[in-house]
A and B are shown apart, each in its own frame.
Chain A
Amino acid sequence: MASIPLADTEPRRRFRSDVLHDWVTTVDHKKLGILYIASGIVFFVIGGLEATAMRIQLAVPENDFVSPEVFNRLFTMHGTTMVFLVGMPIITGFGNYLIPLMIGARDMAFPRLNAWGFWMFLFGGLLLYFSYLGSTGLYGAGSAPDVGWFAYTPLAGKAFSRGNATDYWILGIVVSGFGSLSGAVNMIATALTMRCEGMSLGRMPLFVWMMVIVSFMILVALPPLTAAQVMLLFDRFLGAHFFDTQAGGDAVLWQHFFWFFGHPEVYILMIPGFAYASEIIPVFSRKVIFGYSVMVGATVAIGFVSLSVWAHHMFAVGMGRGLNIWFATATMIVGIPTGMKLFNWLATMYGGRIRFRVPMLFCTAFLAQFLVAGLTGIMLAAVPFDWQVTDSYFVVAHFHFVLIGGLVCTIFGAIYYWFPKMSGRMLDERLGRWHFWLFVIGFNVTFLTMHGQGLLGMPRRIYTYPADRGWEIWNLVTSLGVVLQIAGVLFFVYAVIKALRSGEPAGDDPWDAWTLEWSTSSPPPDYNFDEAPVVRSRRPLWDLKHPDDPDWKYE
């Protein structure tokens, strides 16, 4: 076996270029996980600034803060960024960082493929944003894609999207999509083949279970989108007619392809949020998770059912009664396993000695906000209701309650929970509480009121609106909520910088938690564990901390 000597015995000064080289050439799952998360946070700030510009534009009627063309690019890039360049890398980053640590492994199954996946994601994102400089729009100037984040045909076809801005959208997502696929293969292989001694599937942490299920969903849902994007490239470059209705193609086919990816994608993003909550809530409730087996079963059920609900995004297309009934029913059914999860988290909290530290605060807010998201989701699953509010701000409010109220809140919770492990430093609790309250209040001010605009008939993606529709106060309040959210995020950024510079040392196990990542040092060494762990229950650290009353007696 070829070995490369790494460490000199004599200490030497590490220059910045050395540090950079370490990170660029790394195949260590922890560094790659941090790279994924950090990149996702940078894109989150960019996507947030795009949203802020849109909310300034819509704060008052007949505003001209940005031009209509810029507005179209903003909502396209905002949606694409948040889904593909924020949600996906952050969930992949946490999976990368935590799965080997939680199952007692030294690294992912394919470390080099892991690095390739990250760089594909990053270059895909950079290619997409290079469109601002490099693409040619209708007016010959550089411009970003402007066809919406789902790029419906025929709008995205050559006839209506001149120039190559849409091509950048296609290529950027195809490139980053390959990264997601490689990450999914890696997580499945790692979790199924590299668990430590004693860790049967029934003892695997719920986080790992859920990431495995998500990875399978990525493998099923993402290739059809890539295939459709290649078909669209053929239409645009080679004169093919897959989506050209005037030459025998089918524009609705694109919608089916896109949403066959697009709706599972909602769960691909959301199930990792469930995974974070399933680890955080028990630790801060000081109780074992309620209904472990049911949680796994419900996640598997969500994984299956969510693959058969895609056309609820297309009720207004005119698919016919039979298909509408099928997709409405399937959509409502997916609420059952999701509801089971909510009840299980509540049952875990019930009777526990709850510690409302910042990770738990975010998870508690997630429970309430995700419930609202689920309820409006059931409303939208009813075809007649959907017909009334389709493409309105009600729908925008619904999916922001899912993705911000649900996913982003759990991501913040996860960052506060695992940051001490990743950095060896605690995030400041007081700053975290400011972050939490400002962000959650701001989020609800923004997106609860957005339901009102939708019910009053305000369509999504409109550039501006006249002053006689009764939407003015709703839009103003919605935009004011953004200010609170930005203030919250600024507290978060400050807390991270402060912790990295002078944060309180975290120690190995600052939360008195129970999964294996807390048994190693903070941050963990390159090899994760001095010795390969052996586990006998789902909470190996509990067993060690309570040898008189270990979990394996009850499992």
Chain B
Amino acid sequence: MTEPHDDRGIELPSPTASPLYFALGLSLLLAGLVTHELVSMVGAAFFVLGAVGWWRQVLPQESEQWVPLQSEAERARPVSPRRAAVDHLTAGEDRHRMRLPVEVRPISAGLPGAAAGAVAMAVVACTYGLVVEGSLWLPINLLAGIVLPSVDQASPEQLRSFHGLAFGLACGAHVLLSVSVGLVYATTLPMLPSRPLLWGGIAAPLLWTGVAWSVMGLVNPALEQYVSWPWFVASQIAFGLAAGWAILRVAPVATSQSLSLAERAGIEAGR
């Protein structure tokens, strides 16, 4: 607060009723549409009165009033230093259950994780098709049902035969879902408690299976009709374990979490 001030007072824009007249005039002008022409005429008069008054307020010079400064007794008290000490939060102190990963796998580690998981899941699913259903194409056609509504109407024979479109769509969906899950896996890995393979490889697939079980009828009715839940769970776990294994093989990188709060605040402020 350094700017010197004039002890006598400060100039401010002077009060005026012109904006009120101008607004009243405009409102009455429009109100005449739903009332009477006379209302619009009165509105036009106020409109002109307000406009002229407003112009005269600002042209040729802005009209201002001289406002005297408040007395010393009325003025704000100067802001004074506080005696109370300032606490600084530090990582891991009492009441702060912080788990700060000093190093994490880069999010891009999700890509090799996705590739490994996708292969592992496909192997389990195709094994199910060959061994249980007698067709490699059945699980692939069922997966295509996510985006191909006609799969819902297909006969068992059709589901057990090769279809180019279904194959392409199933591959696309498999890659897309695998990459998405792989990236999420790599991102959340540092937040998981100890034994990430246990959480990411087994617990998460079981939870995901529960979600899939509840929404399968909406998302993919055909798959719900043919799904074998033990094999489904096995394919999910295969994905989780393979993806986790691949992600953990990627070299970790340092994070800014290990820096001090001040340094981090500086970084966040763009220094």
Query: Do A and B form a real pair?
Result: yes
- Say which residue of B24, B58, B81 sits within 8 Å of A123 (CB atoms): B24
**A26 interfacial by beta-carbon distance below 8 Å:** yes
Please tell me if the beta carbons of A7 and B34 are within 8 angstroms of each other in the complex.
no
Residues of chain A contacted by B24 (CB below 8 angstroms): 119, 123
Please tell me if the beta carbons of A545 and B269 are within 8 angstroms of each other in the complex.
no
**B19 interfacial by beta-carbon distance below 8 Å:** yes
Residues of chain A contacted by B18 (CB below 8 angstroms): 112
**B187 interfacial by beta-carbon distance below 8 Å:** no
Q: How far is the CB of B241 from chain A (nearest CB, A)?
A: 30
- Among A508, A527, A531, A541, find the residue whose CB has the most chain B CB atoms closer than 10 A: A527
**A246 interfacial by beta-carbon distance below 8 Å:** no
Q: A351-B95, A554-B269 are in contact. Are A175 and B66 (CB under 8 A)?
A: no
**A505 interfacial by beta-carbon distance below 8 Å:** no
Please tell me if the beta carbons of B34 and A526 are within 8 angstroms of each other in the complex.
no
Please tell me if the beta carbons of B23 and A534 are within 8 angstroms of each other in the complex.
no
**B192 interfacial by beta-carbon distance below 8 Å:** no
**Docked pose: A120 CA to B57 CA in angstroms:** 19
- Say which residue of B19, B67, B96 sits within 8 Å of A6 (CB atoms): B67
**Docked pose: A6 CA to B18 CA in angstroms:** 18
Listed stretches A40-48, A85-93, A163-171, A325-333; interface member: A163-171
Residues of chain A contacted by B4 (CB below 8 angstroms): 531
Within 8 A of A (CB), among B89-146: 89, 95-96
**B253 interfacial by beta-carbon distance below 8 Å:** no
Please tell me if the beta carbons of A123 and B27 are within 8 angstroms of each other in the complex.
yes
Please tell me if the beta carbons of B70 and A525 are within 8 angstroms of each other in the complex.
yes
Q: How far is the CB of A397 from chain B (nearest CB, A)?
A: 24
Listed stretches B8-16, B161-169, B193-201, B229-237; interface member: B8-16
**Docked pose: A546 CA to B83 CA in angstroms:** 8
**A159 interfacial by beta-carbon distance below 8 Å:** no
Interface residues as binary, B42-65 with A (CB distance below 8 Å gives 1, 0 otherwise): 000000000000100110011111
- Say which residue of A509, A521, A527, A545 sits within 8 Å of B12 (CB atoms): A527
Please tell me if the beta carbons of B68 and A7 are within 8 angstroms of each other in the complex.
yes
Interface residues as binary, A95-126 with B (CB distance below 8 Å gives 1, 0 otherwise): 00000000000110001110110011011101
Residues of chain A contacted by B27 (CB below 8 angstroms): 120, 123-124, 126-127, 175
Please tell me if the beta carbons of A554 and B262 are within 8 angstroms of each other in the complex.
yes
Please tell me if the beta carbons of A24 and B20 are within 8 angstroms of each other in the complex.
yes
Q: How far is the CB of B88 from chain A (nearest CB, A)?
A: 8
Q: A7-B67, A25-B16, A123-B23 are in contact. Are A545 and B81 (CB under 8 A)?
A: yes
Residues of chain A contacted by B35 (CB below 8 angstroms): 134
Identity of the chain B residue whose Cβ is nearest the Cβ of A27 in the assembled complex: B13
Residues of chain B contacted by A530 (CB below 8 angstroms): 5, 69-70, 75-76
Interface residues as binary, A163-183 with B (CB distance below 8 Å gives 1, 0 otherwise): 010011001001100110000
Please tell me if the beta carbons of A547 and B12 are within 8 angstroms of each other in the complex.
no
**A304 interfacial by beta-carbon distance below 8 Å:** no
Please tell me if the beta carbons of B5 and A174 are within 8 angstroms of each other in the complex.
no
Q: How far is the CB of A541 from chain B (nearest CB, A)?
A: 6
Q: How far is the CB of A464 from chain B (nearest CB, A)?
A: 31
Please tell me the number of chain A residues within 8 Å of chain B, measured between CB atoms: 71
**A519 interfacial by beta-carbon distance below 8 Å:** yes
**A202 interfacial by beta-carbon distance below 8 Å:** yes
Identity of the chain B residue whose Cβ is nearest the Cβ of A533 in the assembled complex: B1
Please tell me if the beta carbons of A531 and B17 are within 8 angstroms of each other in the complex.
no
Q: A107-B13, A237-B33, A530-B75 are in contact. Are A120 and B5 (CB under 8 A)?
A: no
Please tell me if the beta carbons of B11 and A546 are within 8 angstroms of each other in the complex.
no
**A135 interfacial by beta-carbon distance below 8 Å:** yes
**Docked pose: A106 CA to B11 CA in angstroms:** 10
**B30 interfacial by beta-carbon distance below 8 Å:** yes
Q: How far is the CB of A227 from chain B (nearest CB, A)?
A: 15
Q: A106-B12, A293-B268, A555-B265 are in contact. Are A2 and B61 (CB under 8 A)?
A: yes
Please tell me if the beta carbons of A4 and B3 are within 8 angstroms of each other in the complex.
no
Residues of chain A contacted by B22 (CB below 8 angstroms): 116, 119
The 26 listed contacts between A and B (C-beta, < 8 Å) are: A4-B66, A5-B66, A25-B16, A28-B12, A112-B58, A115-B16, A119-B23, A123-B26, A126-B27, A127-B30, A134-B34, A171-B31, A174-B30, A175-B27, A178-B26, A233-B33, A351-B89, A519-B1, A525-B67, A525-B70, A527-B69, A530-B69, A530-B70, A546-B86, A554-B262, A554-B265
Binding site for A on B (CB under 8 A): 1-5, 10-20, 22-24, 26-27, 30-31, 33-35, 54, 57-58, 61-70, 74-77, 79-82, 86, 89, 95-96, 218, 262, 265-266, 268-270
19 further interface pairs, Cβ-Cβ under 8 Å (given A2-B62, A107-B12, A526-B10)? A3-B66, A6-B67, A7-B66, A26-B15, A115-B19, A197-B3, A202-B270, A519-B79, A520-B76, A525-B69, A525-B70, A526-B67, A530-B5, A531-B2, A531-B5, A545-B80, A545-B81, A554-B265, A555-B269
For the complex of A and B, list the 9 residue pairs with the smallest distance between their C-beta atoms, beginning with the closest.
A119-B23, A116-B19, A123-B27, A115-B19, A25-B15, A544-B79, A527-B10, A521-B76, A554-B265
